[in-house]
Structure 1
């Protein structure tokens, strides 16, 4: 059984239908990337899985649990964490305080060990642990956001555009961090504007367009597909 299975999901905002019969699945330990043009519904998939939008049709199963219609609070407790593209840190709090907020379900006695684990993934955050997140660079804030999500030791981490707005050097750093987290055994579902780079590290990928599945396959298969390259990779990701 897949770790996460999305079947026939239709969802949207008000009277506007964004997703139409979307399906995808993630196995334990996989990196799965969702790519596609702007307005394809990529972020809407993430929000629907995480309970920020209620699906109008279809099912979302995490192991044996049906998540469709559940609140984000319940979904976090099942072992999923979500890092949105924007407003993903508490800017007036320090790095350490952000991590502690991310671990809000943990007993206080467990916080030091969890924070040490996050600092092992992101050594730069240890150096900046007393700094307010709002004074950090975009790449550093993204590390704080991902670190906060990891505090609850999820089985699946969902990342919405983790490299958005970052310099090429910081993009490389963020992707190296994501790969290191995955190598520690965590499954990752990622929506990413840098399609080429995300597919290079993904075990599998899905192409969405117009709110529907268009193509899916391994990361290597999608990179090698001339039509995918022409329409979605833009020659340089």
Structure 2
């Protein structure tokens, strides 16, 4: 049984339909990429999975339960966390305070130990744990956002464009950490503009275009597919 199972989902905003009959799965421990052109519906799919939008048609199952009509906080309680592309940290709070906010469902006695595990992932955050997040670089803020999501020890982490606006060097650092996180247990579903790098690191991937499934396969299969390369990978 898949950890995440999106079944024939149609969703959108107001009268505008963005996703049409989209299906996809994430198995336990996998890293799965969603790629496609701007406006393809990638971020809309993430928001629908996480309960920020509700499907007009179709179902979303997580760990065997239908979560299609649940609110985000109820989905978090079940073991899924979401790292959005923007507004993903509390800028006026310190690194340590941001991590504590991420652990809002955890028992008080567990929070210190969980923070130490996050600092193991991101040593830079430990060095700057008393610095306000709003004073940090874009890459460091992304580390804070990812660390906050991991404080609840989720089964699945959704990541929306984690490398957006970062320098090439910092993109490499962030993806090294994403791989490290995935190797430690949580499954990862990632929407990423750097499709080549994302697919290289992923077990499987899906290509969305105009709100519909176009291609799916292993990361290697999509990287080596001439049509995917021509249309979506710039090669």
- Taking structure 2 as the reference length, the TM-score comes to 0.99
Aligned-partner Cα distance in 1 for 2:169–2:193: 16
Indicate the SS of the match to 1:60: strand
- Output the aligned Cα RMSD: 0.5
Aligned equivalent of 2:57: 57
Within-5 A mapping of 1:191-206: 191-206=191-206
Q: Post-superposition shift, 1:234?
A: 1.4
Which consecutive residues of structure 2, in runs of 5 or more, have no partner in the other structure?
none
Aligned equivalent of 2:173: 173
Aligned-partner Cα distance in 2 for 1:161–1:214: 20
Aligned-partner Cα distance in 2 for 1:200–1:106: 34
Aligned-partner Cα distance in 1 for 2:190–2:83: 10
Indicate the SS of the match to 1:85: coil
Choose 214-223 or 61-70, whichever is displaced more. 61-70
* 2:217 corresponds to 1:224: no
Indicate the SS of the match to 2:110: helix
Aligned-partner Cα distance in 1 for 2:107–2:158: 24
Aligned-partner Cα distance in 1 for 2:74–2:22: 23
Indicate the SS of the match to 1:86: coil
Aligned-partner Cα distance in 2 for 1:64–1:227: 34
Aligned equivalent of 1:76: 76
* 2:28 corresponds to 1:24: no
Indicate the SS of the match to 2:32: strand
Within-5 A mapping of 1:66-215: 66-215=66-215
* 2:21 corresponds to 1:48: no
Q: Post-superposition shift, 1:64?
A: 1.8
Write out per-residue CA displacement over residues 163-208 of structure 1, whole angstroms, 9 at most, x where no aligned residue. 0000000000000000000110110000000000000000000000
Aligned-partner Cα distance in 1 for 2:234–2:109: 49
Aligned-partner Cα distance in 1 for 2:105–2:74: 12
Which consecutive residues of structure 1, in runs of 5 or more, have no partner in the other structure?
none
Write out per-residue CA displacement over residues 8-56 of structure 1, whole angstroms, 9 at most, x where no aligned residue. 0000000000000000001000000000000000000000000000100
Q: Post-superposition shift, 1:90?
A: 0.2
Q: Post-superposition shift, 1:69?
A: 1.3
What is the aligned length?
235
- Taking structure 1 as the reference length, the TM-score comes to 0.98
